[in-house]
């Protein structure tokens, strides 16, 4: 999941926003209130998925940075011990 493009989560958030706006438009009509509720549920699911994607990407980037810093620390510690 960490290799998904950033635009994937942005796309999901945009779709979630569209669902929320649609839900507001159809909420007034009683037969459509069920559709509005479904749109709200879908919007929440899309937002949750976008957060999962971003969280996964952030964790992967953090791990990558930690590994790079650890490797750099090992190299500099190794280099200073030979002096």
What percent of the chain is modeled with pLDDT above 90?
Answer: 48
| pLDDT at position 83 | 45
pLDDT-wise least confident of 28-42, 45-59, 69-83: 69-83
pTM equals: 0.68
For residues 13-20, average pLDDT: 94
Average pLDDT, the chain: 83
Q: How far is CA 66 from CA 8, 72, 73, 74, in A?
A: 25, 10, 10, 12
């Amino acid at each position: 999941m960490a290799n998904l493009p950033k635009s994937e989560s942005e796309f999901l958030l945009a779709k979630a926003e569209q669902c929320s706006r649609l839900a507001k438009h159809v909420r007034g009509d009683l037969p459509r209130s069920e559709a509005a509720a479904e749109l709200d549920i879908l919007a929440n699911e899309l937002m949750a998925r976008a957060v999962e994607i971003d969280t996964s990407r952030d964790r992967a980037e953090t791990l990558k940075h930690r590994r790079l810093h650890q490797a750099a620390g090992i190299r500099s510690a190794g280099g200073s011990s030979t002096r």
